[in-house]
A and B are shown apart, each in its own frame.
Chain A
Amino acid sequence: METNPVQYEELELLLSDLYKRYGYDFSEYSKASIQRRVQRLFTLDKFPSFAEFRFRLQNDSMYFRRFVEEITVNVTEMLRDPSFYRTLRTTILPVLATYPFIRIWHAGCSTGEEVYSMAILLKEAGLLHKSLLYGTDINPLVIEKARKGIFPVSQMQKYSENYIQSGGVKDFSSYYTANYHLAKFDSALTGKMIFSTHNLVSDFSFNEFQLILCRNVLIYFERDLQSKVFKLFDYSLENFGYLALGSKESLRFSPIADRYRQVGREKIWRKVHEAI
């Protein structure tokens, strides 16, 4: 049986290399998770030793690109946690409807399934025409996929069930065209989306939003980095705007917690005071 070839100290060394060489700072990612991903890549690409893995990453920027693609977690689905989307429909969108123009940021959007989910909700609320959805991720490969709006047909049954549970009353298949094993989503949805790479660790706020969604991203960050990202979101959120997190994430221990109020039982918080 294999033993653990990438040791904890080696991981730290590797992450320090990558920061110096490429400017990507993974040093405040949760170690157990990133170690597991690095280990997976190391095994997958059959490196004979850690030294060779390290050398390749130092000297081959294309391989570093692969590293970023493989190290980040890109598991997502449409309308995941239907009760969350139901709350968006019933509680959040009616408030957003009062704005002349709606800006929403999906931070760490991966392949974009949540952005498309949101666009469907906005369309059904009659708000899509005055909305703009920004999807960002550290990984350029998933951003390319998100732009295309093409997802496996095999997932549509599950998404359709999520859709109905989230309060959808239309035929979910009316939102896409199926072709063999792929489903291409309506360009009317895509037309309201802007996708870009953005690194939550190092990049700045780029706009002001009424709603920011960042679900199942902060679980990969250590506490100090979580705090930094919460401040970035706070800075990017209009007063009375909303911040939505994953089902196991919380604003509770963050430095901005005292200026936010949770909306019902879902992981959605409303900003009630500006920073002083």
Chain B
Amino acid sequence: MKRYKLLVIGGSAGSLQVILSLLATTGGDFPVPVLVVLHRNGVFESSLEELLSVRTGLTIKEVEEKDILNPGIVYICPADYHVLLEHDHSFSLDYSERVHFSRPSIDVTFRSASDVYGRGLIGLVLSGGNADGADGLAYIRNRGGVAIVQDPLTADVPYMPQQAISRMQPDFIIPAEELSIFIRGLVQQ
């Protein structure tokens, strides 16, 4: 049995390029299901899925409520909803208060995914100008999951990875350009 069931990625300003290069594939599915929590700013509302799909060659899907997590798919949180995971591996949407001025919030999804997947979860915090993700990443690590932070020195906006590092002790701090190889190595071991 493979240990890792899900990779959750939290990104804000300056993270899109990192996500694109991380997911870019040479054919075949990404070796673990992926859920991307991206703070959207309205600019790429409708074209985000298409952009990711074209640039990564992967199956990209915006989360719909009650969808069952499916291997081989990269899920994207819809704008203006928090995304939660249920014990039956389905998604729930939530329109409650913003967290760190954000909806979707990285903390909210990280915690919920950790409740379901525990040590089978990998959390990754990328570039951004917001403190979202730090608490959630600590939560993932406390429950036995793996906590990875993009090296702030390689981030367009280093504040978010810095916040994560200052709040908790990540398992790994990895430069942007090495994230793809590192994570593939981790899930395929």
Contacts and interface: CB of A to CB of B under 8 A. Distances in A.
Interface in A158-211: none
Interface in A218-257: 219-220, 223, 246, 248-250, 253
Contacts of B87: 8, 31
A4 interface: yes
Given A36-B94, A216-B95, A223-B66, A3 B84 contact: no
Contact of B92 (A8, A30, A246): A30
B112 to A, nearest CB: 5
Given A75-B96, A219-B94, A220-B94, A35 B115 contact: yes
A249 B139 contact: no
Contacts of A220: 92, 94
A interface residue count range (under 10 / 10 to 19 / 20 to 34 / 35 or more): 20 to 34
B86 interface: yes
Contact of A33 (B64, B92, B116): B92
Contact of B81 (A3, A30, A248): A248
B78 A248 contact: yes
A219 B78 CA distance: 13
A32 B96 contact: no
A30 B86 contact: yes
Given A3-B143, A32-B85, A248-B78, A75 B95 contact: yes
Nearest to A39: B111
B108 interface: yes
B65 interface: yes
Contacts of B94: 32-33, 36, 73, 219-220
Contact of B93 (A1, A3, A8, A219): A219
A147 interface: no
Interface in A1-28: 1, 3-4, 8
Contacts of A4: 115, 143
B97 interface: yes
Contact of B84 (A32, A75, A248): A32
A227 B180 CA distance: 43
B142 interface: yes
Given A1-B139, A248-B65, A32 B92 contact: yes
A1 B138 contact: yes
Contacts of A36: 84, 94, 96, 108, 111-112
Contacts of A33: 84, 92, 94, 96
Interface string B91-111: 011111100000000001001
B66 A32 contact: no
B86 A31 contact: yes
B96 A248 contact: no
A246 B64 CA distance: 12
A37 interface: yes
B86 A32 contact: yes
The interface centre, meaning the residue of A8, A30, A32, A253 with most chain B CB atoms within 10 A of its CB, is A32
Contacts of A248: 64-65, 78, 81, 93
Contacts of B139: 1
Contact of A75 (B64, B92, B97, B111): B97
Given A1-B142, A3-B143, A246 B95 contact: yes
Interface string A34-56: 01110000000000000000000
Given A33-B84, A219-B94, A248-B78, 19 more contacts: A3-B143, A8-B87, A8-B115, A30-B84, A30-B86, A30-B92, A32-B94, A33-B96, A35-B115, A36-B94, A36-B96, A73-B95, A216-B95, A219-B92, A219-B95, A220-B94, A246-B95, A248-B65, A253-B66
User: 6 smallest A-B Cβ distances: which pairs?
Assistant: A32-B84, A30-B92, A73-B96, A216-B95, A219-B93, A32-B92
